[in-house]
Amino acid sequence: MPGLSCELIIVSDLRIVLLGKSVLENSGVGNFILGAPAFDSEVPPDVVERIGGRLKDRHVIIINSPQLLQTNISDHQITQTVRECVYLSDPGPHVIVLLLKHDQCSTEDQQHVEKVLLSFSERVFQHTMVISTQEPTETNDILQKIIQKCANRHFSLQRSSSPHDLLQMFEDIVQMNVGQHLVCAEASQSFNIEQQSTERISEGEKLNLVVCGSNRTLKSSISKRILQQTDRRSDAELHGRQISLVELPALFNTQLSEEEVMRQALRCVSLCHPGVHVFLLIIPNAPLNNEDKAEMEEIQRIFSSRIIKHIMILIMQNSEHQTELNEETQSVIESFGGRHLVFGPKTQVSTLMKKIEHMLKENRGEVFSTETFLEAQMKKLLQFEEMEKKIHSFETHLLAKAPTKMSSSKKSGKL
């Protein structure tokens, strides 16, 4: 009798669909998996986002749908959202994650969850698991039934939880399905027809690129490579696309005031109507210096986490000899969402354009607009004001207690 062998199945991109009821909760779990603030907790609940990153040594793509498990959405909304999830996970998801709470799981929830899952495929339960984000006070029988339908795959997310433990559960699902993704042909085909119609409308739109980074020479070099021009802002047609390119001056500059830095950033975005499709962040293929690091921190601070889905990192290389990226550069790539390209002297611009077109597809043509920029600044201002209120309240509390302490000291004869 021939011996049995067990082969480890490895897939290149691990595609995960995250389903839930709350933008805040879905964003938190998505960020936990990617180890970076990739998902914005203030996006509208009907927006389905796709963001890539790394978890341990795996490239992970998360398609985040924070309203699909809400029981009050219509059948039409379910159909449209499922189609979008399938399209963004093309050719199909490896894992579907249900975010459920012990105290918010009723018979109605169970029926709704099953309706949503079966909208993907009849075989969906082979690819599905449950994540709960709270410690249960008592057992919920309905939740247990859902978990049992998912082959008892359940991960309880606590403060001590590790993303690596969760990755192992994802990998187990992949192994059980022999590396095969969930096939959802009907939903994918329906959404593709609608998506093609949308793409035809936007074909004539200009592609707006912003080149950023601390090194002006590297930024000028990539600008020339893309447009073969030296103007600070240039329009040209490239690979069938009308392109507008803006170079963002280095924001980390001790000679510039905070007001001037904000003005430079806002001006850059406002030059790109209706908004920026892709920010090309240029870094050298060498150990990063303090200016490089400070500039990247400033970009994240000024533009907020909302910029991550629009960032591609270009690693400029002096020779065609491919060298392994150092750990620091890999960490930078992951913190900005995982999209990158090593750009050598002979790298074709068409290679960059293919990656950019793929980004546009992932982002469904969404742009980083002046409204996005201003909303991010308003959010930071409100957070600052809230912090000031807390500090003032704390100071008032301390001052109110101070006389009591002094009085007690005098009574006891202590000065």
Q: Confirm whether 110 is domain-assigned.
A: yes
Residues 139 and 91 reside in one and the same domain: yes
Sign of CA dihedral 369, 375, 376, 377: positive
95-100, strands of its sheet edge to edge: 49-55, 58-65, 13-19, 95-100, 128-132, 154-156
Residue 119 belongs to what domain range?
A: 13-196
Distances (CA, A) of 3 to 6, 175, 404: 10, 20, 82
The answer on 222 and 192 residing in a single domain is: no
Q: Hey, what amino acid is at 334?
A: E
In a domain? residue 388: no
351 and 256 in one domain?
yes
Tell whether 98 is covered by a domain.
yes
Does 185 share its domain with 275? no
Task: Specify whether the CB–CB gap between 104 and 208 falls below 8 A.
Answer: no
By CB atoms closer than 10 A (0-12, 13-18, 19+), residue 30 is: buried
Structure tokens that stand for 230 in this block: 């030296």
The Cβ of residue 212 has, within 10 Å, a number of other Cβ atoms equal to 24
The answer on 290 and 217 residing in a single domain is yes
Residues 146 and 162 in one domain: yes
b/e 13-27 (16+ beta carbons within 10 angstroms → b): ebbbbbbbbbbebbb
Instruction: Note whether 15 and 96 are within 8 A (CB).
Output: no
* Domain end (from 139, 162, 196): 196
- Model-level pTM? 0.56
Could you tell me if residue 383 is inside a domain?
no
Give Cβ neighbours of residue 243 (< 8 Å, ≥ 6 apart).
206, 207, 208, 209, 226, 227, 235, 236, 237
Task: Answer yes or no: are the C-beta atoms of 216 and 166 closer than 8 Å.
Answer: no
Q: Which of 257, 227, 252 has the alpha carbon at shortest distance from 239? A: 227
Domain assignment of residue 399, yes or no: no
219 and 260 belong to one structural domain: yes
Contact 315, 343 (CB under 8 A): yes
Bridging pattern class, strands 58-65 and 49-55: antiparallel
| Shared-domain flag, residues 163 and 31 | yes
Q: Do 150 and 47 share a structural domain?
A: yes
- d(CA 300, CA 363) in angstroms, rounded, equals 19
Q: Do 47 and 149 lie in a common domain?
A: yes
The answer on 270 and 154 residing in a single domain is no
Q: What is the CATH number of the domain that holds 178?
A: 3.40.50.300
pLDDT (tens, 9 = 90+) of the chain, 415 residues, equals 344 344 445 556 789 999 999 999 999 999 899 888 888 777 778 888 888 887 777 788 899 999 999 999 988 889 889 988 888 888 889 999 999 987 778 899 999 999 999 999 989 999 999 998 877 666 788 999 999 999 999 998 887 788 888 999 999 999 998 888 998 865 544 444 344 433 433 445 688 999 999 988 888 888 888 876 434 444 556 656 788 888 898 888 767 788 888 888 998 898 888 899 999 999 988 888 899 999 999 998 899 888 988 999 999 887 766 667 888 888 888 888 888 999 888 888 888 988 898 888 888 888 999 888 888 888 777 777 777 777 777 777 777 766 554 455 555 554 4
* Residue 319, token pair as written in the block: 């020779």
Whether residue 186 is found in the same domain as residue 243: no
Tokens of residue 123, six digits = 């075989």
SS (H, E, C) 174-239: HHHCCCCCCCCHHHHHHHHHHHHHHHHHHCCCCEEEEEECCCHHHHHHHHHHHHCCCCCEEEEEEC
pLDDT of residue 19: 96
Rounded to the nearest 10°, the torsion over CA 152, 158, 164, 169 is 10
* Number of domain units in the chain: 2
